[in-house]
């Protein structure tokens, strides 16, 4: 399951996590983002207990989006130990997202 994170909760949700975290940067008007949503949900269900999955609406949370220079969506960033480990721009397959969390 993918949970929502915000500008105010991002540090606690993502940066402070002791497990890898996948963050889906998206917006409701973005067609590819809507196509990615069920894939991200599935990833969240498959990695439960081993990693965390969050969605961040870039329109409602511009501070985090700006900090990580999000210029195209969907963008997925995998954080490990509070740092960017991998960044994927555009719609990807579930296998690619799962591999990025390994």
Catalytic positions, written as ranges: 30, 33
Angle at the Cα of 95 from the Cα atoms of 94 and 96, rounded to 5 degrees: 90
What's the sign of the alpha-carbon dihedral 96, 39, 71, 63?
negative
Residue 65 burial class via C-beta count within 10 angstroms: exposed 0-12, middle 13-18, buried 19 and up? buried
Q: Check: CB of residue 53 under 8 Å from CB of residue 13.
A: no
Separation between Cα atoms, residue 4 and residue 72, nearest integer Å: 19
């Amino acid at each position: 399951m993918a949970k929502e994170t915000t500008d105010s909760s991002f540090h606690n949700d993502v940066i402070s996590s002791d497990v890898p975290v996948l963050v889906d940067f998206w917006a409701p008007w973005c067609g590819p983002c809507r196509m990615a949503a069920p894939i991200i949900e599935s990833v969240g269900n498959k990695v439960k207990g081993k990693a965390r999955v969050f969605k961040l609406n870039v329109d409602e949370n511009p501070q985090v989006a700006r900090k990580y220079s999000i210029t195209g969506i969907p963008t997925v960033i995998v954080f490990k130990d509070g740092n960017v480990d991998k960044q994927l721009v555009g719609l990807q397959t579930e296998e690619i997202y799962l591999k990025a969390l390994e």
